[in-house]
């Protein structure tokens, strides 16, 4: 079974069985949607009227919050059960959203340059290659549009188990090809899903060569100093599970051979050098 079929089934099962990731936005979160979505101040002061693509983010959280903030929301997901939560929640709250059932590496039904913001929670681990995902996002986002994405860090996916001293053992090779093997340590892995390790050069470098400049990069801290060793917060003291980036689409067309971005002149290949 290929990664799409397998992950569709796995996520349908997770959604139907109350996964933490299938938790819909609460009334309190909906009262302050932008603050809930954006602890870092990466979003504009208002998203009202903007076209937002919530990519691989079914489950009734991101899409509902953006819609509460007045955005025109399209949510893409591979799992019908996750999308059902978005539709149910939108109906219950009297919001209008569009749901699209597809894989993040095939957005062919979405038009070029049609979104101001693309927001993608942790999900690139479910596809074998990041290249087509970044290419599709680069195509559908407008010039100067924002792409916020979060990814599993490769080092976290390399942990195979703990030894008798509760030390974390790297048992998966960095240059692992193909689906990740099953491991004893199942923290930050979803049951039944087919997952892939993407190296930092693919996650960060791949974004830079797909038409984006990175404006900020964070490693959400999951360390907890008040928990038992068995808790994932203990693991978080040693290994960062995620990396989150704010990137901006470089303008496609320019009046001359250079363009301004983040205060720097960028050289366009094929044009005279700076
Ligand atoms: C960790 S959940 C993220 C959604 C959640 N709302 C959140 O708050 O983080 C990952 C999502 O990716 C979706 N997914 C997995 N593989 C996918 C693919 N190839 N294309 C699109 N979505 C996919 C899953 O169905 C799931 O909804």
Number of other residues whose CB lies within 10 A of the CB of residue 130 = 22
* pLDDT value of position 161: 95
* pLDDT value of position 30: 98
Q: Is 234 in the pocket of ligand 1 (CB under 6 A)?
A: no
Residue % of the chain over a pLDDT of 70: 92
* pLDDT value of position 20: 87
Which residue from 114, 25, 38, 28 is spatially nearest to 67, judged by alpha carbons?
A: 25
- The full set of domain ranges for the chain reads 3-267
> Is residue 167 predicted with pLDDT exceeding 50?
yes
Mean pLDDT of the chain: 93
- pLDDT-derived band at 21 (thresholds 50, 70, 90) equals confident
pTM above 0.75, yes or no: yes
* pLDDT value of position 73: 99
**CATH fit for domain 3-267, picks 3.40.50.1010, 3.40.47.10, 3.40.33.10, 3.40.50.150:** 3.40.50.150
Contact between residue 56 and residue 76 where contact means Cβ atoms under 8 Å apart: yes
Q: How does pLDDT run across 217-266, given as a tens digit for each residue?
A: 999 999 999 999 989 999 999 999 999 999 999 999 865 555 555 444 44
* pLDDT value of position 83: 98
User: How far away, in angstroms, is 164 Cα from ligand 1 center?
Assistant: 34
> How many alpha carbons fall within 13 Å on the CB side of residue 52?
28
Q: How does pLDDT run across 95-134, given as a tens digit for each residue?
A: 999 999 999 999 999 999 999 999 999 999 999 999 999 9
Number of other residues whose CB lies within 10 A of the CB of residue 209 = 10
Atom 8, ligand 1: which residue's CA is nearest? 21
User: How far away, in angstroms, is 266 Cα from ligand 1 center?
Assistant: 34
Q: How does pLDDT run across 196-217, given as a tens digit for each residue?
A: 999 999 999 999 999 999 999 9
Atom 2, ligand 1: which residue's CA is nearest? 21
> Is residue 271 predicted with pLDDT exceeding 70?
no
User: How far away, in angstroms, is 192 Cα from ligand 1 center?
Assistant: 14
Contact between residue 184 and residue 156 where contact means Cβ atoms under 8 Å apart: no
Alpha-carbon span 150 to 220, nearest angstrom: 9
- Rounded to an integer, the average pLDDT of 158-168 is 94
Contact between residue 76 and residue 140 where contact means Cβ atoms under 8 Å apart: no
Alpha-carbon span 242 to 236, nearest angstrom: 10
Residue % of the chain over a pLDDT of 90: 86
* pLDDT value of position 260: 52
* pLDDT value of position 255: 59
Looking at the CA of residue 126, tell me the nearest atom of ligand 1.
16
- Helix (H, G, I), strand (E, B), or coil: what is residue 3? helix
Atom 17, ligand 1: which residue's CA is nearest? 78
- Rounded to an integer, the average pLDDT of 41-51 is 98
> Is residue 267 predicted with pLDDT exceeding 50?
no
User: How far away, in angstroms, is 274 Cα from ligand 1 center?
Assistant: 42
User: How far away, in angstroms, is 46 Cα from ligand 1 center?
Assistant: 25
**In the numeric block, which tokens belong to residue 225?**
């100093």
* Interacting residues of 74 by C-beta distance below 8 A, sequence separation 6+: 51, 52, 53, 54, 97, 98, 99, 100, 110, 115
> Is residue 273 predicted with pLDDT exceeding 50?
no
Looking at the CA of residue 62, tell me the nearest atom of ligand 1.
6
Looking at the CA of residue 61, tell me the nearest atom of ligand 1.
6
* pLDDT value of position 253: 81
> Is residue 90 predicted with pLDDT exceeding 60?
yes
Task: Annotate 154-179 with b (16+ C-beta within 10 A) or e (fewer).
Answer: bbbbbbbebeeeeebeeebeeebeee
Atom 11, ligand 1: which residue's CA is nearest? 56
């Amino acid at each position: 079974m290929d990664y799409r079929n397998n992950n569709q089934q796995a996520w349908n099962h997770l959604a139907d069985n109350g996964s933490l990731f299938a938790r819909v936005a609460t009334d309190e979160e909906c009262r302050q949607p932008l603050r809930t979505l954006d602890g870092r101040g990466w979003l504009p002061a208002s998203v009202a009227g903007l076209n937002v693509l919530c990519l691989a983010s079914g489950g009734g959280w991101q899409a509902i919050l953006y819609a509460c903030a007045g955005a025109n929301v399209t949510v893409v997901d591979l799992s019908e059960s996750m999308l059902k939560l978005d539709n149910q929640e939108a109906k219950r709250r009297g919001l209008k959203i569009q749901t699209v059932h597809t894989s993040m590496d095939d957005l062919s039904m979405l038009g070029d340059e049609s979104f101001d913001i693309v927001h993608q929670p942790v999900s690139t681990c479910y596809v074998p290659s990041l290249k087509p995902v970044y290419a599709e996002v680069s195509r559908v986002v407008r010039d100067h549009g924002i792409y916020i994405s979060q990814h599993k860090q490769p080092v976290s996916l390399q942990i195979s188990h703990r030894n008798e001293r509760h030390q974390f053992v790297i048992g998966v090779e960095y240059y692992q090809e193909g689906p990740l093997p099953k491991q004893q340590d199942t923290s930050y892995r979803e049951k039944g899903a087919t997952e892939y390790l993407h190296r930092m050069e693919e996650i960060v470098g791949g974004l830079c060569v797909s038409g984006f400049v990175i404006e900020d990069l964070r490693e959400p801290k999951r360390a907890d100093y008040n928990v038992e060793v068995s808790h994932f917060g203990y693991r978080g003291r040693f290994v960062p599970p995620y990396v989150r980036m704010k990137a901006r689409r470089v303008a496609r067309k320019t009046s001359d051979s250079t363009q301004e971005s983040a205060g720097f002149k960028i050289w366009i290949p094929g044009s005279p050098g700076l």
